[in-house]
Every structure is written in C-alpha cells, then in structure tokens.
C-alpha cells in the first residue's frame, strides 16, 4: 500500500485558538450529576474535587462517536462504551492560560527523562509548549483511584487486538488499532514486556480535528534513556513508553511518548510526556536527522506545533481520565 505523506495524514493543523475546548464548552460536574454513570467509582469522582463534563468535540469526533457506537454495539463490549466524558476542572483550567513558561519545558534528552522520576523535581501536572519551533510538547500527571499497574499492563496487552476495544478508551476519537504480532501480544505465558515491547502497534485517532496515523514502537524504558534502577527505586513498575513513526514515513521517528506508572495509596499514578516533531535531543534514535525535512515538507511550522501541543494535552487529559473511569469495570469483566 502506498501512503501519501501530508500534514493531514500525520497531524493536520488545528485552529490556533480553540479556547472553547476547555472553557466555554465545559459544564460543572455538579450540574450534570444526574447524567453521571452509575458505575463510576466514587473515589474517582472525588479524587480531584470538582469535575467538569467535556462537551466540545470537533465535528470529526462527533461523527466518530456515531460510527464507534455502531461498531461496538454488536460486541460484548457494548455495556462498557461510555460516551460521557469528564475531566478534573483544575486540569482543564490549567490549559486555558497558554503554554508553559519556556524555563519549565524539558527537551527530549535522556537527562530530562530521568529528571521526571527524581523526587526533588517539581512541575505542573498539566501543560503544553513548543520547543525550538518544530516540536510540540505536552505533559500530564494523573492519579487513578481503583486502578493498579497490573490493570494498566493488562489494558495495553488487551486493547490493541480489536479496534472495538480501543474505541472504549476514547469513543469520540479512537478509530482503529492493530498490532504486528497479535499472537505474541495475547500469549499470557510471556511477560508483559515480552508481549508488548518491540511489537509495533499501528493506531489511528483524532487529535482534535486532526487525524493521526502512526506506528507505536513500545520499548524497554532503558532503551529510551531511562535509568532502570532509578525507575525501580522510585516504585515505577509499569511503562508503555515508545518512539512513534508516521505510517507514511515508517523509518523516521517523530514522537517520543512516555507513560510510566506506579501504585500509590491513592491509586495508580501515571506520568505522561509527548515530544512531537524534531529536536536535536532526538538524535539517539535512528534516522531522527530526517525528521526536520519531513516536517518542513508537510508544513509543520511553529503555529501548527502549538496547536498540536494544545490538542495533545486536551486529548491526553480526556482519554486517561476516561480510562481511569472505565478500566476497573472492563478489567473485572474481561481480565480473568
């Protein structure tokens, strides 16, 4: 199959100011209490205080919701398709006031990966920025009451096998998923790491109004630059971190994605980071030097990078808070 490389097939430009996504288009969680799912764990609702319903969706996402409801409706997963989205109000508000200060924004160096797990390092839970004009950046920290790292690892070996499972995670944005070796991913005699790592996962999803078609190469954290001993020392026992490639350019790394998790008394704590684009500190990954020309060709300029960073922050905030809400029930039903 021939793929045409364009900004739309990678990450198309979104409007530069989509303030309504998390301002005018959210309603107080208390105002929508009657619409809350009866299955939603009380601990999850109360973890961050006030919650807000996310009511703004791009037209593309509205149409995707309809298609996904039809697809999932014919599967055993239908009872777990919850299209009511809500996020902590504090997280939504954190994204309303523009990008992070430049001094707060880390580059994708191995040194900065390890700063993330240094207990003395402090940063905002949610934020976005642009690095050097050609790299979008987003960060988050999410606590998931009722979720464990074992559930998290199970999810990453369960959902890529069928697109309808993937749709449960973000019903308005997730389109399709597949994995290079589904038999290995399903082999419970193997460890989580042997099932997921180096088993490329192709995903298609909407990031705001832009369609992403990418191949995720989940990898051992140490191969990405993490100090494995430091991760263990700080209690991080699960990782779904990866280098990502655009499907039309499968040999050029354009994203470093970090998801590392640990169990706490309040629930699973998840740290996520996304570096999307080109930067000198990506040089440790083969062919990273080709990324600037690829991005220039598709018009990935500073304005597009800023829109991408913002939309990625909203997407991450939405999908992982929604996963926190549905995962205990889905795992209980299908994880045995």
135-179 pLDDT tens trace: 999 999 999 999 999 999 999 999 999 999 999 999 999 999 999
pLDDT of 39 above 90 = no
Q: What average pLDDT does the chain have?
A: 89
Instruction: Tell the residue number behind the tokens 């088993």, with chain if given.
Output: 199
pLDDT of 36 above 80 = no
pLDDT confidence tier of residue 15, bands split at 50, 70 and 90: very low
Backbone angles phi, psi at 316, to 5 degrees: -60, -50
pLDDT of residue 44: 55
Share of the chain above pLDDT 70, in %: 86
> Six-digit token pair at 282?
């990506």
- The pairs formed by 72-80 with CB atoms below 8 angstroms and a separation of 24 or more are 72/164, 72/167, 72/168, 72/171, 75/162, 75/164, 76/334, 77/164, 77/165, 77/168, 77/330, 77/334, 80/168, 80/326, 80/329, 80/330, 80/333
Instruction: Tell the residue number behind the tokens 């970090």, with chain if given.
Output: 258
Query: How far is Cα 163 from Cα 72, in angstroms, rounded to an integer?
Result: 9
Burial category of 247 from C-beta neighbours within 10 Å (exposed 0-12, middle 13-18, buried 19 and up): middle
The SS3 call for residue 223 is helix
pLDDT of 19 above 70 = no
Question: Once rounded to an integer, what is the mean pLDDT over residues 93-108?
Answer: 94
47-73 pLDDT tens trace: 678 999 998 899 999 999 999 999 999
pLDDT of residue 47: 61
Query: How far is Cα 231 from Cα 228, in angstroms, rounded to an integer?
Result: 5
| End-to-end Cα distance, the chain | 38
Residue in 84, 97, 69, 312 with CA at minimum distance from that of residue 210: 312
pLDDT confidence tier of residue 5, bands split at 50, 70 and 90: very low
DSSP 205: E
User: 117-148: string of b/e by CB count within 10 Å (b at 16+)?
Assistant: beeeeeeebbbbbbbeebbbbbbbebbbbbbb
Instruction: Tell the residue number behind the tokens 């990008």, with chain if given.
Output: 99
192-203 pLDDT tens trace: 999 999 999 999
168-181 pLDDT tens trace: 999 999 999 999 99
pLDDT confidence tier of residue 37, bands split at 50, 70 and 90: very low
Instruction: Count the neighbouring beta carbons within 10 Å of the beta carbon of residue 177.
Output: 21
**DSSP per-residue string spanning 44-100:** HHHTTSSEEEE----HHHHHHHHHHHHHHHTSTTGGG-----EEEHHHHHHTTT-SP
pLDDT confidence tier of residue 29, bands split at 50, 70 and 90: very low
Residue in 55, 34, 56, 36 with CA at minimum distance from that of residue 44: 36
C-alpha distance from residue 263 to each of 145, 151, 159, 205, 242 (Å): 10, 11, 21, 28, 21
> Six-digit token pair at 213?
């078609």
Residue in 57, 17, 36, 49 with CA at minimum distance from that of residue 315: 57
CB 240 within 8 A of CB 320: no
**DSSP per-residue string spanning 152-171:** HHHHHHHGGG-HHHHHHHST
């Amino acid at each position: 199959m021939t793929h045409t490389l364009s900004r739309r097939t990678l990450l198309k430009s979104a409007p530069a100011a989509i303030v309504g996504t998390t301002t005018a288009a959210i309603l107080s969680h208390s105002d929508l209490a009657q619409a809350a799912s009866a299955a939603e764990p009380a601990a999850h609702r109360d973890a961050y205080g006030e919650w807000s319903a996310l009511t703004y969706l791009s037209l593309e996402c509205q149409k995707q919701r309809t298609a996904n409801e039809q697809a999932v409706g014919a599967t055993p997963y239908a009872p777990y398709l919850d299209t009511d989205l809500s996020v902590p109000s504090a997280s939504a508000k954190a994204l309303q006031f523009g990008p992070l200060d430049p001094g707060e924004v880390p580059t994708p160096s191995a040194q900065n990966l390890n700063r993330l797990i240094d207990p003395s390092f402090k940063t905002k839970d949610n934020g976005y920025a642009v690095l050097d004009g050609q790299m979008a950046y987003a960060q988050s920290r999410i606590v998931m009451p009722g979720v464990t790292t074992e559930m998290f690892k199970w999810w990453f070996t369960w959902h890529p096998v069928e697109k309808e499972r993937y749709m449960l995670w973000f019903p308005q944005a997730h389109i399709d998923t597949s994995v290079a070796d589904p038999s290995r991913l399903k082999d419970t005699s193997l460890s989580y790491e042997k099932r997921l790592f180096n088993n490329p996962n192709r995903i298609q999803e909407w990031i705001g109004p832009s369609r992403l078609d990418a191949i995720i190469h989940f990898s051992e954290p140490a191969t990405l630059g993490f100090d494995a001993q430091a991760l263990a020392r700080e209690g991080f026992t699960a990782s779904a971190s990866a280098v990502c490639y655009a499907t039309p350019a499968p040999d050029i790394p354009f994203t470093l994605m970090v998801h590392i998790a640990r169990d706490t008394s309040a629930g699973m704590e998840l740290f996520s980071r996304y570096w999307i684009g080109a930067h000198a500190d990506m040089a440790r990954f083969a062919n990273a030097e080709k990324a600037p020309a690829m991005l220039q060709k598709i018009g990935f300029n500073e304005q597009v990078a800023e829109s991408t960073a913002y939309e990625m922050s909203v997407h991450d905030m939405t999908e992982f808070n929604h996963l926190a809400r549905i995962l205990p029930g889905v795992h209980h039903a299908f994880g045995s």
